[in-house]
A and B are shown apart, each in its own frame.
Chain A
Amino acid sequence: MFVPSVTNPVGDFVREWVPKLAEFLPASLQSDTLNSVVAFLVNALICVVAVCAVNIGSAPILIYMERKVCAHVQCRLGPMRLGWHGTIQTIADVIKMLFKEVYAPSGADKLMFYMAPLIVLIAPFIVCALIPFSRDLVVADVSMGIPMIIAVNGFGVLGILLGGWSSNNKYSLLGALRSGAQMISYEISFAMILLFVVMISGSTNLMSITLGQEGTIFDWWIFKIPVLGFIAFILFFISSTAEMNRAPFDIAEAEQELTGGYHTEYNGTPFAMFYLAEYIALITNSALATTCFLGGFLPPCIGITAIDNVLNMVPGVVWFFAKVYFMIWCYMMVRWTFVRPRVDQLMDFEWKFLLPVNLVLLVVGAAYITIGG
């Protein structure tokens, strides 16, 4: 019998209490197999709810944050009138979008049209399940974490291609094709940098990648390997921005050129899903960056015992989310600062710059590990 790998206290608690509760059932129904299956199902349900809650709960926060960050870069205030400083503005937006009229354009492939946003939404959810939020808070602690992430991340482009193609609109199609080309190209450097992380940490398991950074702030992968780590981090930042289709790499949406790119024809709830997917991808990518480079849930110790003790008292989840939100803030600052490169320049950048640099990085990293490590 497959025993789910939920290793955190919540999982243990469920496993402990399911047999105890089962004693109240008639004797004919009692069996260890049933107990473990029920425990598994309950655990799985908790996991799904938790992942959904983290993602969907944080999406409105992120949208609000984005609106505020962009407003302050642009010397204005942003949402102000709904709740304290406009805090519940995005909730109103979501409710409004749920109750909007929904229709597909004539000539659209209806099934594909409504499926596309779902597919886009799936990928970041799965990635989120693999991220260790704290020392003993991870949904699925699979040993092949990194390959799994690379595989699942490729899923998102499918939804965007489908959405653009099924809309029966030239702008949508152009946007979808652009984003298809872009995401598939950038997936390569995205995967290569993760491989670099795997190489230096010696593991594909996200938990052990995180735990490998234990110690002071200088043991984080971004600082542990001089210069190389930082370069890898920057490269990861760039390619994940492109993976997410976020500005400055948002040629797929390119409001000024293609009005809305692949989601031009979407309205109401399906559009809300695209909108949410963008922000959920933001959170998973930031979480990945945090896990691989910024020490995950580990506190930023600096080697002075008195301070480190204080830092260690703060729970890992707090550190994790603090780092994630810092990363998100970086993504946002970049988005609201830079202009958008052209589609062919974007490809040039990937194939003529990012990929060569990545290869060099891998080689140099390998040399460093064999010689110095």
Chain B
Amino acid sequence: MQENITLLQYFKRYFKRCITGPWSLMCGLSVSLKYFFDPRRIVTEQYPENRKTLKMHDRYRGRLEMIEDADGNNLCTACGMCERACPNASINVLATKNIAGKKVLGRYVYHFASCTQCGLCVEACPFGAIRMNQDFEVATTDPNSLEMILNKKEGQG
């Protein structure tokens, strides 16, 4: 940007800058020196080393999980509410008929590969059969392992 200023103004500004400029730079340097010499300011958490103490918040949405009792029974009735709530069809609630001919949960397939962990399924479940767990160490080299079957047993009924 070209401005029209007199030579006097130009030199006035020039010398003003010669003084304010270094001062402003020193201000910046003082901040970085302060941070450099103060180890208390370091905020880094050391992830693989602090694995034991690292806890996610209660509401943290990790992987989907089925709530099971000690015998492995789940609460799912295969109503399919979660399936319908899912924005990208990451849940297959595959129903079967039990010996009495009643519709029960056969297989609860969870496509972790496409799950966005939005939690709408948990919100939609009327029976509280599923939840998001606190698991965040989920990296894998095998994409097929991301397709999970969550229930160990068929549904009750």
Write the residues of chain A forming the contact surface with B, with a CB cutoff of 8 angstroms: 69, 72-77, 80, 333-334, 336-338, 352-353
Contact with A along B27-42 (1 / 0, CB 8 A): 0110111011001011
Are A72 and B29 CB-contacts (below 8 A) given A333-B36, A353-B18? no
Assuming A76-B42, A352-B14, what are 7 further A-B pairs, CB within 8 angstroms?
Answer: A73-B36, A75-B42, A75-B44, A77-B42, A333-B32, A337-B25, A353-B18
- Name which residue of chain B comes closest to A75, CB basis: B41
Give A75 to B35 CA distance when docked, in angstroms. 7
- Name which residue of chain A comes closest to B32, CB basis: A337
Taking CB atoms, residues of chain B closer than 8 Å to A352 are 14
Write the residues of chain B forming the contact surface with A, with a CB cutoff of 8 angstroms: 14, 18, 25, 28-29, 31-33, 35-36, 39, 41-44, 46
Contact B33–A74 (Cβ < 8 Å)? no
Taking CB atoms, residues of chain B closer than 8 Å to A337 are 25, 28-29, 31-32
29 contacts between A and B (CB under 8 A): A69-B36, A72-B35, A72-B36, A72-B39, A72-B42, A73-B32, A73-B35, A73-B36, A75-B35, A75-B41, A75-B42, A75-B43, A75-B44, A76-B42, A76-B43, A76-B44, A77-B46, A80-B46, A333-B29, A333-B32, A333-B33, A334-B29, A337-B25, A337-B28, A337-B31, A337-B32, A338-B28, A352-B14, A353-B18
Give A333 to B35 CA distance when docked, in angstroms. 11
Give A353 to B44 CA distance when docked, in angstroms. 41
Taking CB atoms, residues of chain A closer than 8 Å to B42 are 72, 75-77
B146 smallest CB distance to A (angstroms)? 28
Task: Kindly list the 7 A-B residue pairs having the minimum CB-CB distance in the complex, ordered from nearest.
Answer: A337-B32, A77-B44, A76-B44, A75-B41, A73-B32, A73-B36, A72-B36
- Name which residue of chain B comes closest to A333, CB basis: B32
Give A95 to B32 CA distance when docked, in angstroms. 32
Contact A336–B32 (Cβ < 8 Å)? yes
B49 smallest CB distance to A (angstroms)? 9
Taking CB atoms, residues of chain A closer than 8 Å to B43 are 75-76
Taking CB atoms, residues of chain A closer than 8 Å to B41 are 75
Taking CB atoms, residues of chain B closer than 8 Å to A77 are 42, 44, 46
Taking CB atoms, residues of chain B closer than 8 Å to A80 are 46
Q: Find the residue from A72, A336, A338 having the highest chain B CB count within 10 A.
A: A72
Taking CB atoms, residues of chain A closer than 8 Å to B18 are 353
Taking CB atoms, residues of chain A closer than 8 Å to B29 are 333-334, 337
